Structure 1
Amino acid sequence: MRGPGLFCCCLAALLLFVGADDVEDVEDVEEVFRRDRSHIEKTLRLTDEKPADDYSVALQKLRKIYHSSIKPMELAYKYNELRQYEITAYHGRTLADSATDGEITSKPMVLFLGPWSVGKSSMINYLLGLDETPHQLYTGAEPTTSEFTVVMHGPKLKTIEGIVMAADSARSFSPLEKFGQNFLEKLIGIEIPHKLLERVTLVDTPGIIENRKQQERGYPFNDVCQWFIDRADLIFVVFDPTKLDVGLELEMLFQQLKGRESQIRIILNKADSMATQELMRVYGALFWSLAPLINVTEPPRVYVSSFWPEEYNQDTHKELFLREEISLLEDLTQVIENRLENKIAFIRQHAIRVRIHALLVDRYLHTYKDKMTFFSDGELVFKDILEDPDKFFIFKSILAKTNVSKFDLPNRDAYKDFFGVNPITSFKLLSQQCSYMAGCVLEKIEKAITHELPDLLSSISKKPSNLNCDVTGCGEAPKNRYKKH
């Protein structure tokens, strides 16, 4: 923390001068040191009345499409059994094991990552205006956040234990049970009656400490981070100008972020603690350190400012820092505005992956049946197919006969383990997955992909953006990651 000692000394001297009877006046003096928050209220539209929209109707339609057209194929071909390989296969966001309604209807999630004591918790306190209130997250110079803290909306201030969050099927956190009881003890939820939290959920994470091994945490830290990364709509990776060292744990974190560059925002926090020339050098050093970890043509956006309620230090670029802050708030606002479009597009991506998986299982099963004879050993026949699927044109036939990109195909080695747990004989051919009442699962999921979900996406009314272009120029407006530009 910067300047508290000097402030306390000045406050004590002021108390001696004005006397004990003037304590209220001293409190008024303290307010002078607090930064004006009007730009936060305006950019995030916290003072606006909640607009009437058709989101609830659209979400009901989305839920119906998922349960009637996508989930039956998920269950029939045990898609969740393959899900553990999706991170390496797709480098992208995935649904939880057989998505729940809570997963579909959940608010956008903003994830805060980074080394210890870089200001992640302070940034959340600042965005929500929680400083000096009973609701504020604990902050300090030493590592203070040892839990994954989910800050969400509720009618009153309430703390929820991780084991309760995981047991509540109405929420989207039940899959976290798989990380064990040690982790659930490090998971906490905080409900706060705040307007911003009506539209977004914020997640604070334990700071990265490079000299700490994963096993010392008592739970699989990187796996838990990956779970939240897969579900985050916006990822703030926060740095302190004095903590730019890149170690093994930070390298591992950026490995997990590969493929998610469009959601990443780099925050160089506490920027007003440095002189202009020194800040320029730190900015260059940050890019130098991160360049080997972010190997993309379009690097993530970097915001340089000080995200806490105290006034900027004197003789620093206050206007620049304020413009950067407003730009970040516009970024967050646009993610909130695009929440339904992104969710529909994501469900469609998920449906495509489920269909590809079902087509591959069907192809494996066709090949197995073609190669089997009365005298064949079924186990040896299928082992031969698994060992060299290219010899039997398993994957190439999918590319040739269907409108599937080779870049969307899963890792073929994943199917060795998949069929090791799920025998090929336990599945039916796609042509047999039909009924008089429900129809054919393949036709239904293809209809959802080609017609129902695109129609739902186009039916959402487009609302004009209220970004404050007079301040930032809107030169780098955040993009909808599911749209082609």
Structure 2
Amino acid sequence: MEENGNSTRHSEERKVLRRLWQLYEEVVLPLEQKSFYDHFCAPPISMEEFEARPQVLLVGQYSTGKTSMVKWLTGTNSPHFDVRPQPSTDKFMAVVHGDEERLIHGNAATCLPQLPYQGLSRFGGSFLGSFQALVLPAKILRDITFIDTPGVLSGSKQRIGRDYEFAAISAWMADRADLVLLTFDAHKLDISDEFQEVMEVLRPYADKVRCVLNK
């Protein structure tokens, strides 16, 4: 009975979303195009972004528990969750729902029509090599998507091996996220230059940013 109820609810939600998309496409989008809205604010919304599940973006310095938090919330023990005391996660990883566990690498993830990440292709091949989507059959992912990010390093280490614009990509994802979690180690509250830069680009999204003191 519960599954039938959920199925009916999701069906009704999709009908509402389709109607809202139709209104956007017929009324709002022509106004955006006529006023060159994308030149001074944001490009048009794609249908994939419009229909995407709510997204939670996790940002923070290394070893503040971002990946461990996603692992615990999904209740899975995937080998793709790399949890170590030293800096480990070196990729942006969208954790999405699917029937079977699989890893989709950057170029493929931005081409799949069922994922709302086509816009990431603008950041080039260097970034796409550091982006992936992890598909998991976790129940919570039916209603929400998590985006885990590389830990921001401190001092001279912070830009080693990073050949893409970390802050700009964080801003792109924050713009599309419904909640942004800034994670801190409660015993190490020093903030690197790069993390300050990231927090600055997140300023326009302050209404959906929450700070998490972990450990």
TM norm structure 2: 0.90
Separation of aligned partners in 1, 2:205 and 2:37: 23
Structure 2 residue corresponding to 1:190, chosen from 131, 134, 138: 134
Separation of aligned partners in 1, 2:177 and 2:210: 12
Percentage of matched positions with identical amino acids: 29
Q: Which residue of 1 aligns with 2:38?
A: 80
Q: Which residue of 2 aligns with 1:67?
A: 25
Q: Deviations over 1:90-116 (max 9, x none)?
A: xxxx5xx22111011011000111110
Q: Deviations over 1:221-241 (max 9, x none)?
A: 111111111111111111112
Q: Which residue of 2 aligns with 1:145?
A: 89
Q: Which residue of 2 aligns with 1:118?
A: 64
Q: Which residue of 2 aligns with 1:155?
A: 99
Structure 2 residue corresponding to 1:109, chosen from 25, 48, 55: 55
Separation of aligned partners in 2, 1:214 and 1:179: 17
Q: Which residue of 1 aligns with 2:163?
A: 218
Offset, 1:81? 2.2
1:236 aligns with 2:208: no
The DSSP-based 3-state class of the residue aligned with 1:167 is coil
Offset, 1:118? 1.0
| Cα distance, 1:264–1:181 mapped onto 2, change above 3 Å | same
Please give the residue correspondences for 1:240-255 in structure 2 after superposition, counting only pairs within 5 Å. 240-255=185-200
Separation of aligned partners in 2, 1:166 and 1:60: 22
Structure with greater contact order relative to length (CA < 8 Å, sep ≥ 6): 2
Offset, 1:157? 0.6
Residue identity matched to 1:81: H
The DSSP-based 3-state class of the residue aligned with 1:183 is helix
Q: Deviations over 1:299-341 (max 9, x none)?
A: xxxxxxxxxxxxxxxxxxxxxxxxxxxxxxxxxxxxxxxxxxx
Offset, 1:215? 7.3
Q: Which residue of 2 aligns with 1:165?
A: 109
Higher helix share: 1
The DSSP-based 3-state class of the residue aligned with 2:204 is coil
Aligned-residue CA RMSD (Å): 1.7
Q: Which residue of 1 aligns with 2:213?
A: 268
Unaligned 5+ residue runs, structure 1? 1-47, 84-93, 271-485
TM norm structure 1: 0.41
Determine if contact 1:148/1:186 at 8 Å carries over to the other structure: yes
Separation of aligned partners in 1, 2:78 and 2:44: 38
1:175 aligns with 2:128: no
Offset, 1:213? 5.0
1:99 aligns with 2:45: yes
The DSSP-based 3-state class of the residue aligned with 2:203 is coil
Unaligned 5+ residue runs, structure 2? none
Greater radius of gyration (CA) = 1
Q: Which residue of 1 aligns with 2:13?
A: 55
| Cα distance, 1:138–1:215 mapped onto 2, change above 3 Å | closer
Q: Deviations over 1:426-485 (max 9, x none)?
A: xxxxxxxxxxxxxxxxxxxxxxxxxxxxxxxxxxxxxxxxxxxxxxxxxxxxxxxxxxxx
Determine if contact 1:214/1:221 at 8 Å carries over to the other structure: no
Higher strand share: 2
